[in-house]
Amino acid sequence: MRFKATVCIIVPAAVLTVSQALPAEPETRKGPLAGLPSAPGPHIQKIKALADNSWLALGAPAADPKWGTARGRSWGAVFPYAPDLQAAFLCGEGVHGWYNKQTNRYMDDLWAYDVNGHRWICLHPGTDIKNVALKMNADGFEVDPDGQPIPVAQMGHGFAMVTYDTDRSKFMFMPCPVSNFLPLFGDRRKAWGGYQGPFCPVDCSPWMYNAASGKFELSKTKGAFPGAGNGSRIGVAIYLPSIKKLFFWTGGTKEAWLYDPKTNAWSNIKPTGPQPPFGIDATVCLDSKRNRIYLGGGYYPLTPGGNAFWCYDIQANAWLDLQPKGKVCGGCNRYGPNQALMHYDSVNDVVVLLYHRLPVAGTPDGEFNPGAKALGIYIYDPANNSWTETPQPMPKEIAGCPNGFYSPELNAHFIHCAGDSVDNGVVSVYRYKKAKDDGGKK
């Protein structure tokens, strides 16, 4: 996009035993997430009572007692949900190079939103731009005095490069650093021999945050590696429970990779079929029933007319041009992470696309502006391969830089909205339809 990106990955430092590979029970967790899932607050019953196509405004989540509240971040629609924690992870920069003038913390922070408690939990407050001092370990990674790898300025934006490993209880992300941090602590990084050029490690796993230990992880890999270094590596990263691997697609270079946590190795899988016609910055969600990944609305370049909704079939290792019926987003092909949220609603077996921001005229994503009437919620029905064309309206609270996730336990879509790098966030909840046994209809 407007910056150089770098790719990196995270993996366990040693071979896992069976007990280590399983998600930790709440009583065995350490660190900020030790008490999750928390006891349900009174708002949970209100969510359960939601009718079809209805919203509930929860307001501002309670602040972390030490670090306050998470801020809004542009180009960061994906808010990965952890069902074992009943929480979601938020990270990625907003305004490039931004840091908090009161705390001197850079916006490479990591937060968890506790669904039951409607509160923020700060997992990493961000790099202290005045006092950061790291060292290089034997693998060439930046680590703190305790040997924990620290992700300094690793995400220019979150894009769709963040996910959650449900088998090992680990938040994972693929980095895309930008150079805006250089005036803040670039010279100090040189002093300890830190990452230069791509500004992130290479020949490594994805970055991970272990929910059980409360620590970041990063492991050296051997063999093939997705590469690092520029914006063409911005794409989608999503964990696939069916094969227990991470899928990574680089929109610019159009490469598809799998990372296997068990072997701590990457493989370039080279799917058959027609590649997505768009470049970087696509929305993404996983259809767990059909074992498919849906991607859509990317740009650089935009899809030149026609369909911008694509599919990767995991079992077949093949790209599919589904050519669905109906025009989503008023016919606009630009609905990436700064303009839309896309979730697979597993209770109702549909894809819910929340289109909240129009393309900006005079920019590469502004070739076609469908007008405000196109904003709203669209539904894709995989069984019929069709989109609804008339959007459902959204409340006024859906503004700023939304980040969202779907909770199958509550059959509800959570949307956090705040200004870019601003701590004015509120959370709203949307239900498409009730489950059948709750009186809803498919």
Give a yes or no: residue 29 inside a domain: no
Per-residue model confidence (pLDDT) at position 47? 98
Between CA 405 and CA 130 the distance in angstroms is 34
Residue pair 292/303 in contact by the 8 Å Cβ criterion: no
CATH (domain of 396):
2.120.10.80
Residue listed under structure tokens 């609305």: 297
Q: What is the pLDDT of residues 72-83, one digit of tens each?
A: 999 999 999 999
Residue in 145, 144, 140, 156 with CA at minimum distance from that of residue 108: 156
Per-residue model confidence (pLDDT) at position 360? 80
pLDDT band at 24 (very low <50, low <70, confident <90, very high): low
Per-residue model confidence (pLDDT) at position 408? 98
What mean pLDDT, rounded, does the chain reach?
Answer: 91
Mean pLDDT throughout 195-223?
95
Per-residue model confidence (pLDDT) at position 437? 66
Between CA 32 and CA 41 the distance in angstroms is 19
Q: What is the pLDDT of residues 261-304, one digit of tens each?
A: 999 999 999 999 999 999 999 999 999 999 999 999 998 888 98
Cis peptide preceding 226, ω within 30 of 0: no
Q: Which helix (H) or strand (E) holds 46?
A: helix 43-48
Q: What is the pLDDT of residues 113-168, one digit of tens each?
A: 999 999 999 999 999 999 999 999 999 999 999 999 999 999 999 999 999 999 99
Per-residue model confidence (pLDDT) at position 229? 60
Q: Does the pLDDT of residue 400 top 90, yes or no?
A: yes
The angle formed by the CA atoms of residues 42, 47 and 49, to the nearest 5 degrees, is: 105
Give a yes or no: residue 38 inside a domain: no
Mean pLDDT throughout 342-367?
88
Better pLDDT: 438 or 233: 233
Give a yes or no: residue 6 inside a domain: no
Give a yes or no: residue 40 inside a domain: no
Mean pLDDT throughout 335-359?
96
Per-residue model confidence (pLDDT) at position 348? 98
Per-residue model confidence (pLDDT) at position 359? 85
Tell me the backbone φ, ψ of residue 233, rounded to 5 degrees. -90, 0
Better pLDDT: 197 or 352: 352
Per-residue model confidence (pLDDT) at position 111? 98
308, 311, 317, 318: CA torsion to nearest 10: -50
Q: Does the pLDDT of residue 361 top 90, yes or no?
A: no
Tell me the backbone φ, ψ of residue 399, rounded to 5 degrees. -150, 175
Q: Does the pLDDT of residue 224 top 80, yes or no?
A: yes
Q: What is the pTM (predicted TM-score) of this model?
A: 0.92
pLDDT band at 5 (very low <50, low <70, confident <90, very high): very low
Domain count, the chain: 1
For residue 321, the enclosing domain spans 47-435
Give a yes or no: residue 3 inside a domain: no
Per-residue model confidence (pLDDT) at position 362? 67
Per-residue model confidence (pLDDT) at position 323? 96
Per-residue model confidence (pLDDT) at position 230? 65
Between CA 312 and CA 321 the distance in angstroms is 9
Least confident segment among 22-31, 311-320, 336-345: 22-31
pLDDT band at 18 (very low <50, low <70, confident <90, very high): very low
Give a yes or no: residue 25 inside a domain: no
Give a yes or no: residue 232 inside a domain: yes
Per-residue model confidence (pLDDT) at position 157? 94
Between CA 44 and CA 48 the distance in angstroms is 6
Per-residue model confidence (pLDDT) at position 12? 36
Q: What is the pLDDT of residues 39-53, one digit of tens each?
A: 999 999 999 999 999
**SS3 state at 415:** strand
pLDDT band at 364 (very low <50, low <70, confident <90, very high): low
pLDDT band at 6 (very low <50, low <70, confident <90, very high): very low
Per-residue model confidence (pLDDT) at position 306? 80
pLDDT band at 3 (very low <50, low <70, confident <90, very high): very low
Residue in 419, 331, 334, 403 with CA at minimum distance from that of residue 113: 403
Give a yes or no: residue 9 inside a domain: no
Q: Residue 13 corresponds to which tokens in the numbers above?
A: 């430092």
pLDDT band at 28 (very low <50, low <70, confident <90, very high): confident
Least confident segment among 20-34, 89-103, 167-181, 398-412: 20-34
